[in-house]
Structure 1
Amino acid sequence: VRNSKYPQLTADHRAIFRIKAPDAQKVQIDLGRKYDMVRQEGGIWETVTDSLGEGFHYYSLLIDGVAVADPGSETFYGMGRMASGIEVPFKGGEYYALKDVPHGDIRMKRYYSEVSRSWRRFFVYTPAGYDTHTTEKYPVLYLLHGGGEDERGWATQGKTDLIMDNLIAEGKAKPMLIIMLDGNMASAGFNAGALKAFEAELMQAVIPFVEKNYRVRKEPDSRALAGLSMGGIQTLYAGLYHTDMFAHLGVFSSGWLPFYQKIADDQYEFINKNKAAIDSQLRLLWIAMGGKEDIAYQNCQNMLKEFDALKLKYIYSEYPGGHTWPVWRNNLYNFAQLLFNK
């Protein structure tokens, strides 16, 4: 945060953390691996980590065993709570660097859902020129976050606006709206009820609201649906059952989990029975993984074997980095370039 000297990053990607906690007995940094902090004079605690991997990392302070956010860092909603975050830059990240190009906006919009009977919100990326090109209608990508995150994920951790600003300025992607909605439903959890609730919210609340309030094209070829991890499962569920609504689907770091087997089998049967319609409607099914270290890797491979047996067409891509935001930013970068092309 502004005027805070710590955390610091060294040239070899080690992080230096320092916190004042004079009454604490034990302080640690939790970056997945826990680092003990050493007490200095004046109640200052300090530690230096090993070299960190490139990209974005959630972390927490553990003060006498209690996980808290670092007051010296920005906070992000991740891991199901507010957590601190640290970004390790790398040469491959130029595509989301802040550049001298026309910039769009990320806006927050509240809406009342008759489906969930609650006030909800989404974030929307509008490309440069949206407010001045008042007669132009745009294609739209509905973009979903992962488990433990919410509609803020793609807008903040995901760098969506910078990725799209740069792509559009370079002529590599079509100007589009991106709706970053909340995939967390009242029936929270990984179950059929939550998937059905999300499908209803998307189809009956979000899309009608967007198409009433924003200048977007309404034909299936101008709609795309994509998501990471949990959002990838939601994309599989809502997208493959509705290829009459979405001609483009993106599944990032995801695949049917073992406890979804009945849901997966039902979908495979649906694909088999409706193969001709799906083939004619679905222009792009893009599936990406963060390499073999991605925690969803094997689930995805098992699903792809079923797709192969069904002769369902898809494009498969890997970008090393596991189940992390650098991978998903790269997924968006590549997926967006394939959308809405004649």
Structure 2
Amino acid sequence: MKYKHTLIMLAVTFFSHYCIAQAGNGTAADDFKPASTNQPGKKYPQVTAGGKVRASIAAPQALKVQLDIGGKKYDMVKDETGVWTGESMPQDEGFHYYQLNIDGASVPDPGSLCFYGAGRWGSGIEIPASDQDFFALKDVPHGLLSENIYFSKITNAWRRCFVYTPAGYTENSKTRYPVLYLQHGSFEDETGWATQGKANLILDNLVADKKAVSMIIVMDNGYAYVPQDTAAANKRMPSFGTFEKVMVNEIIPMIDTKFRTITNREHRAIAGLSMGANQTVRILMNNLGKFSFFGGFSGTANYPSTEAIDPATFMDGKFKDGEAFNKQVKIFFLGLGTKEPNPFPGSVGAFRAMLDKQGIKHVYYESPQTAHEWLTWRRDLQQFASLVFKD
């Protein structure tokens, strides 16, 4: 009897391991571990080094549950306790928004931290990146990320920005710093660069490695509306002109007053991703007396057009004098992921062709194997920040 019992236990153990291996397709790469973006103590969602995502949720009354990530929905399977579990195909490394779909209703995963993106607060997951050391939390001097609330007379509303001050800012009370104004993309907000983008950690690490100049970074909300523009506000459509006014007439003067900045164009940069790139290149060209550096990450002012640009008419001819432009703008940076979807490659390509035609100097960087996503923009920021404010 003991011998028979032992055989049964061995069979059960073998079968359990077999089932686990089958759930992960039986490869060494399918070593699922809790994601770094999970809520404290939560076992799911999980990720593998190969980029697969496994989600799990208790929903005993549900008829159908899916994992919605990377533009595809994956069916999940319910066990005898009412817990649904499922996994995705490998995802690109980096940060991704995702959600669960329960009987047709898309909801956040209760195991994930929440992030603002895609026009909502929802789930996000970090797929381990091969180069994640540059934005990792390390034992280096760290700057301070603070929330700055202010009232905008232009929009007649309370607004806020997040301000990164570098390590040593508090101790070195007489030192003044250059400023980078850094904008998010469409359907995101001022929290994006500080959370999904890890801008503070990128700068901490760059400065610690002596690869970048210590700087202040200001991250504001690119959605700004005058009181009568309720239709655009309700649709969350960007008002580029209004945000430009807020930036130039309210944000910059406020930052120069509250923080120890160097208040000239040679020590002021502006950059943004996607929609933010479109916004900031327009702000730059309309205010060349205020900025010397520009970074456009996955976006340009001609988006979504891929047609050839006529510099004589584009943006009222602001790019037609390449020689004058080169004297005013020290660094004009453009970044793009190698896997970006259309029309981004064509749009950025047409813009670069116009710059080349006008003899406008620019720096172009391609993020390998990333699409229109935060790892692309983190890499862009790392490259851009290492270039600006240097002699």
Q: Give TM-score scaled by structure 2 length.
A: 0.83
Look up the match of 1:96. 135
CA distance, structure 2, for counterparts of residue 260 and residue 14 of structure 1: 34
Q: Deviations over 1:13-32 (max 9, x none)?
A: 32211101122121111102
Aligned pair partner of 1:284 in 319, 331, 335: 331
Q: Do structure 1's residue 269 and structure 2's residue 314 form an aligned pair?
A: no
User: Alpha carbons of 1:24 and 1:252: their partners in 2 closer, same or farther (altered >3 Å)?
Assistant: same
Asked if the contact 1:16/1:48 (under 8 Å) is kept, the reply is yes
Deviations 1:89-144 (A, max 9, x none): 12211111111110111111101111111100001111111111111110000000
2:75 matched residue in structure 1: 36
1:13 paired residue among 51, 74, 78: 51
Q: Aligned to 2:364, what secondary structure does the other structure show?
A: strand
Q: State whether structure 2 residue 61 is matched by structure 1 residue 23.
A: yes
Q: 2 CA distance for matches of 1:197 and 1:263?
A: 26
Match of 1:242 in 2: 287
Instruction: Classify 1:227/1:335 alpha carbon distance in 2 versus 1 (closer, same or farther; 3 Å).
Output: same
Q: Which amino acid aligns with 2:372?
A: H
Q: Contact 1:14/1:52 (CA < 8 Å) preserved in 2?
A: yes
Q: How far apart are residue 259 of structure 1 and its match? A: 6.5
Q: Which residue of 1 aligns with 2:367?
A: 319
5+ residue gaps, structure 1, are none
Mapped to 1, the partners of 2:204 and 2:52 lie a distance apart of: 31
TM-superposed deviation, 1:304: 1.5
| 1:212-223 matched pairs, under 5 angstroms | 212-223=257-268
1:330 maps to: 379
| Matches of 1:277 and 1:213, distance apart in 2 | 33
SS at structure 2 position matched to 1:155: coil
SS of 1:298's partner is helix
Aligned Cα root-mean-square deviation (Å): 2.0
Match in the other structure for 1:341: 390
Query: Cα 1:190–1:42, aligned 2, differ >3 Å: closer, same or farther?
Result: closer
Secondary structure at the residue paired with 2:365? Answer: strand
**In the alignment, what sits opposite 2:31?**
none
Q: Kindly indicate whether residue 222 of structure 2 is the aligned counterpart of residue 183 of structure 1.
A: yes
Shift of 1:148: 1.0
User: Match for residue 254 of structure 1?
Assistant: 299
- Amino acid across the alignment from 1:253: S
Q: Is the 1:253–1:294 Cα contact (8 Å) retained in structure 2?
A: no
Cα distance change, pair 245–111 in 1 and its aligned pair in 2 (3 A): same
Provide Cα deviations, 1:207-264, integer angstroms capped at 9, x if missing partner: 0110111110111010000000000001111012222110000001012124799998
Match of 2:356 in 1: 308
Q: Deviations over 1:37-78 (max 9, x none)?
A: 111122111102212221111001111111111110001000
Is the partner of 1:329 in helix, strand or coil?
A: helix
CA 1:38/1:165 → structure 2, altered by over 3 Å: closer, same or farther?
A: same
Counterpart CA distance in 1 for 2:49 and 2:175 is: 46
The answer to whether the 8 A contact 2:55-2:87 is kept is: yes
The farther-off stretch of 275-284 and 27-36 is 275-284
Letter aligned with residue 213 of structure 2: K
Q: How much has 1:275 moved relative to structure 2?
A: 4.6
For 1:232, which of 266, 273, 277 is the aligned residue? 277
CA distance in 1 between partners of 2:385 and 2:88 (Å): 35
2:273–2:297 CA contact under 8 A, matched in 1: yes
> Which residue in 2 is equivalent to 1:151?
190
CA distance in 1, matches of 2:280, 2:96: 25
Where do 5+ consecutive residues of structure 2 fail to align?
1-38, 226-231
Distance 1:297 1:185 in 2: 28
Counterpart secondary structure, 2:318: helix
2:242 matched to 1:203? no
Give the whole-Å Cα distance in 2 for the aligned partners of 1:260 and 1:212.
41
Aligned with residue 104 of structure 2, among 65, 76, 81 = 65
Task: Tell me which amino acid in the other structure corresponds to 2:382.
Answer: Y
The answer on whether the counterparts of 1:268 and 1:306 sit within 8 Å (CA) in structure 2 is no
Is the alpha carbon distance of 1:54 and 1:292 closer, same or farther for their aligned partners in structure 2, counting shifts above 3 Å? closer
Q: SS of the residue aligned with 1:210?
A: helix
**Matches of 1:268 and 1:301 in 2, distance apart?**
20
Query: What is the count of residue pairs matched by the alignment?
Result: 340
**Pair member with larger Rg:** 2
**Following superposition, which runs of at least 4 residues in structure 1 exceed 6 angstroms of deviation?**
259-264
The answer as to whether partners of 2:306 and 2:349 remain within 8 angstroms in 1 is no
Instruction: Tell me how far apart the structure 1 counterparts of residues 292 and 384 of structure 2 sit (CA, whole Å).
Output: 13
Q: 2-11 or 121-130, which moves further after superposition?
A: 2-11
Query: The residue matched to 2:192 in structure 1 has which SS?
Result: helix
